[in-house]
Amino acid sequence: MEDWLKIFFRFLPEGGLYYLLIGLIALGESLVGIGLLLPGSTLCVFAGFLALHGKGEILPLIGVATLGAFCGDLISYLFGARFGGELLKHPLLNRRVDLVRKAEIFFAEHGGKSVLFGRFFGPIRGFVPFVAGGAGMSPALFTTFALVSALLWGLTYPGLGWLAGVSWQNVQRWTGRFSLLILAALLLTVLWAKLRRRRK
Which distant-in-sequence residues (6+ apart) come within 8 Å of 125 by Cβ? 29, 30, 35, 118, 119
For residues 125 and 73, give the distance between their C-alpha atoms in angstroms, rounded to a whole number: 9
* Total Cβ atoms within 10 A of residue 140: 7
What is residue 147's predicted lDDT score, i.e. its pLDDT?
Answer: 92
Amino acid occupying residue 40:
G
What is residue 42's predicted lDDT score, i.e. its pLDDT?
Answer: 81
Contact yes or no for 31/43 (Cβ under 8 A): no
What is residue 1's predicted lDDT score, i.e. its pLDDT?
Answer: 47
**pTM score:** 0.75
Contact yes or no for 35/126 (Cβ under 8 A): yes
Query: pLDDT (tens digit, 0 to 9) for every residue of the chain, 200 residues total?
Result: 456 556 666 777 888 899 999 999 999 988 887 877 777 788 888 888 888 888 889 999 999 999 999 999 999 999 888 887 677 676 666 666 777 777 777 777 777 777 887 787 767 777 888 888 888 888 999 999 999 989 988 888 888 888 776 555 655 565 555 555 555 555 555 555 556 666 66
What is residue 38's predicted lDDT score, i.e. its pLDDT?
Answer: 79
86-99 pLDDT tens trace? 776 766 666 667 77
Q: Write down the domain spans for the chain.
A: 13-199
What is residue 193's predicted lDDT score, i.e. its pLDDT?
Answer: 55
